[in-house]
Amino acid sequence: MAIAPSAQPIVAEQEEPAAGAASPPWPSEKAGFYALFVIIFSTFLNFFDTTVFAMLAERIKASFALSDSALGFVLGPASIVAFVFVGIPLARLVDLYPRKFVLSASIATLGTITALGGLAQSFGQLVGSRLFVGAGGAANGPGSYSMMADYFRPMRIPLVFALMQLSYTLANALGTWGGGRMIAWTDTLPATSSFAGLTIFSWQWILIIIGVPGLVASLMFLTVKEPPRRNPAQGEPLVPAGAPLGRRLLAFTGLDALKAINTRGAVYWPLFIALAMSAIESQGLPAWRVPFVARTYGWSEAEIGNLLAPLLLTASLLGLLMGGIFVSWMNKRHKDGNIRATAIIFSCTTVFAIAAPLMPSGELALGCMAMTAFFGLAGAPAQNAAIQRIAPNAMRGQVTALYLFMYTFFGAMGSFVIGTVSDVIVGDPDKLWEALLIVAAVFMPIATFSMWRAIRPYREEVERLEAQGL
């Protein structure tokens, strides 16, 4: 349930340079913090788009006469399909070309396609726009992490990465509040209007409006100074020199990461299963918050946003703070502290995820959802730290990439799973709460059991590494 813009670049981690080897001077921190500001702004826009689009769920369903399954597809899998096929290849561009240009093109594409989604004349065209939105944002995370690692000294990196996480937290809260306000504004407009010879629904103006800032962020990236890459020349490359074409193409697929994981499958697979199962619920739920509260309690989008936004902001910030404290406390007492802490947090998340759709009022339901966000953010540091602790040094970047890919892929599928359960099993759109309950009651216990199951092999792996002096 870790929250992150994207995976680290898919490259083998480099060894330290030999004694006396030349190393480029560190860039000025002033330039670094300006680059960090631009990255936070662009990442904020990425997540803001996703949050606001989810707020439009009921309007999209009504305008295009969709089933819950179709709605679930456009809310999640539509944006991840392109990521599956082009996400890792685009991330490789970060290693080959100046990152400022890759990031500029990424956010420009995201903003342009978001705005074009506001001109969609059919459900198929809207799905097509979300496909390209997913592709446009694929290089943002790898490029951002790579650039920051070359801008700041290692002692600064924890602070920098923590500040980068604010983009998600703020976008989730402000997107929820702002999305509700914008929807209330479009309700004052005619149901449809003509633009450039096209007939568009009133809610589509929101997509046009939120797409424009992406072009501003794209221009801002062009003013960022590209820092020199600090990878030592003698480091082992992911693809050996003179490798055949097939091997070079393989480097773009991420299969090297899978090979590394399989060598210690007893340690990794319980963690991966827990992440995937929890992501289906934790990332599927946000897409259905507004439809659930609107159908079950009769609230408008503006009413939902006014209460849910401050709840999410407070819960997310407290979750990051308290989670870090709790994990540090557990690690002082247990070698398996990272996973033990995550298992406890997963148990708490399961309780509130199952309780949310059973609440007698909208206020209590939103309160339970905020608590799932609290525990979700609390568990993020422990999960990320656990993978970094046991991943082989030469394959750490690739293992991290696949771990986060599991989160992204299964998280995106979550909205489709909930929609399908609503259509196929429940059969009544007004009883969406039953679909949320079924998904939470099935997937979260599996995730929690897998995380508890991972404690022993993780502890044994840590002890093995310690015995080798690692």
Instruction: Kindly indicate the confidence band of residue 85, based on its pLDDT and cuts at 50, 70 and 90.
Output: low
pLDDT per residue as tens digits for the range 180-200? 899 999 989 999 988 888 889
The pLDDT value given to residue 307: 93
Instruction: State what percent of residues in the chain have pLDDT above 90.
Output: 31
More confident call, 387 vs 114 = 114
Indicate whether 210 pLDDT > 50: yes
pLDDT digits (tens, 9 = 90+) for 91-101: 667 777 788 89
Between 329 and 231, residue with greater pLDDT: 329
Q: Find the mean pLDDT for residues 35-58.
A: 90
220: confidence class by pLDDT, cuts 50, 70, 90? very high
For 420-423, the CB contacts below 8 A with 24+ separation are: 420/68, 420/69, 420/72, 422/68, 422/69, 422/72, 423/67, 423/68, 423/69
Please give the model's pTM, rounded to 2 decimal places: 0.74
- Mean pLDDT computed over every residue of the chain: 81
Q: Higher model confidence: residue 81 or residue 124?
A: 124
pLDDT for 205 equals 93
User: Region 328-356: what's the mean pLDDT?
Assistant: 91
pLDDT attached to residue 76: 80
C-beta atoms surrounding 206 within 10 Å = 24
- The 3-state secondary structure of the chain reads CCCCCCCCCCCCCCCCCCCCCCCCCCCCHHHHHHHHHHHHHHHHHHHHHHHHHHHCHHHHHHHCCCCHHHHHHHHCHHHHHHHHHHHHHHHHHHHHCCHHHHHHHHHHHHHHHHHHHCCCCCHHHHHHHHHHHHHHCCCHHHHHHHHHHHHCCHHHHHHHHHHHHHHHHHHHHHHHHHHHHHHHHHCCCCCEEEECCEEEECCHHHHHHHHHHHHHHHHHHHCCCCCCCCCCCCCCCCCCCCCCHHHHHHCCCCHHHHHHHHCCHHHHHHHHHHHHHHHHHHHHHHHHHHHHHHHHHCCCHHHHHHHHHHHHHHHHHHHHHHHHHHHHHHHCCCCCHHHHHHHHHHHHHHHHHHHHHHCCCHHHHHHHHHHHHHHHHHHHHHHHHHHHHHCCHHHHHHHHHHHHHHHHHHHHHHHHHHHHHHHHHHCCHHHHHHHHHHHHHHHHHHHHHHHHHCHHHHHHHHHHHHHCCC
Mean pLDDT along residues 465-469? 78
